[in-house]
A and B are shown apart, each in its own frame.
Chain A
Amino acid sequence: MRLDKAARIAKGAEAIIYQGTYLQNPVIIKQRLPKTYRHPEIDHRIRLHRLRSEAKVMSIARKIGASVPSLIGINIQESYLLIEEIDGKLLYETMDLLPIQRLKPIFSSLGSQIGLLHCNDIIHGDLTVFNVIIQLEDKPIIIDFGLGRISNEIESKADDILTFYSTLKAIQPASKILFSTFLDGYLSVYPEGKNTYEQMKKIQSRARYIAREDRLE
């Protein structure tokens, strides 16, 4: 693989993101570097595992037609992925800029995208508004499959939805309306998602201090 003009553009929690070109196309290079705070053995095990599963999950998601960036290449030795570059803003950033009426269709279409993934047993693993890019014409693209995996367990799918709801609730006052729009989109593509939602409520009730008014009906 020949990489050109790699410039560091961002540092996430897990990886460093570089911008470069590969065969004259703009690409993103996502490299997972060792973490000093983790035991080297744990670190190695996790980084290798996530690099591989991210590549695998992303390419399967792409195959079934979900809106995710396409994977161009993988380098195990230097632990990086080459990914198609996506223009746009993080959903987290757009939430402050757009009115609820414009956010609703975004959440609905994000919901149907997640429904499509779950319908095909693809689990995202870290589904939050920080891992969705909104392109032109409000099209959501799901990124960062580092914690992703293939599983048909309801529990895993419910975890995805619960993670999404919890982060949304933490940062957005109108979370309940947006989440129900998201859920409508989810169920429209994946009717069996009813069970996922029931399981999500069960997981939530296992946690500590869930006030009655906070429980989802």
Chain B
Amino acid sequence: MHAQMMGLTAAPPPDTSEALIAALVLRARQGDGAAFGALIADQYERIYRAAWRWCGNRDDAEDIAQEVCVKIGQGISAFDGRSAFSSWVYRITLNAVRDWQRAGARRGRQASAFAEVSHTESAPEQEASATSRQLWDAVRQLPDKQRDAVLLVYAEELSHAEAATIMGIKEATVSFHVYEARKTLRGLL
């Protein structure tokens, strides 16, 4: 009944408790458009923030977030609930980021000089200190798995177990990737 109200107003629910999300997911899977609208409105912020953390650019993050929202819309009826909804969303987001960067690398061949200019232009002022920006840049340049592990654990502040579910690997492997990342970064920083 609570969720019903949310659906009608289409505003992000103030209480994003897991039970509420689970209820919305269930109804969305059964084809309830209002529930899906409320659900996606609630998730957007988190998706966008994750996308931004992974790529560090607002335009790209918005595009990726939109892509992820569309994918969720297409896939939610097939979401089987075996893992947590949030893990599923993270996984789609990470895949979207990866596809985006692949496509970017391809495009980059044609205009790498151009891309470089726009990259520095869009370096966000929020990362005020040079140290912090350098750290973010270095982390984003890590190999995919190491980057994913580090960002999930430290930036998204998830547990190793949660990160492991999202990445589809074992908990120990997450720790291993983080360890490897630290080693790699010692060289970069």
Do the two shown chains form a genuine complex with each other? Answer: no
Q: Which residues of B contact A (CB under 8 A)?
A: none
Q: Which residues of A contact B (CB under 8 A)?
A: none
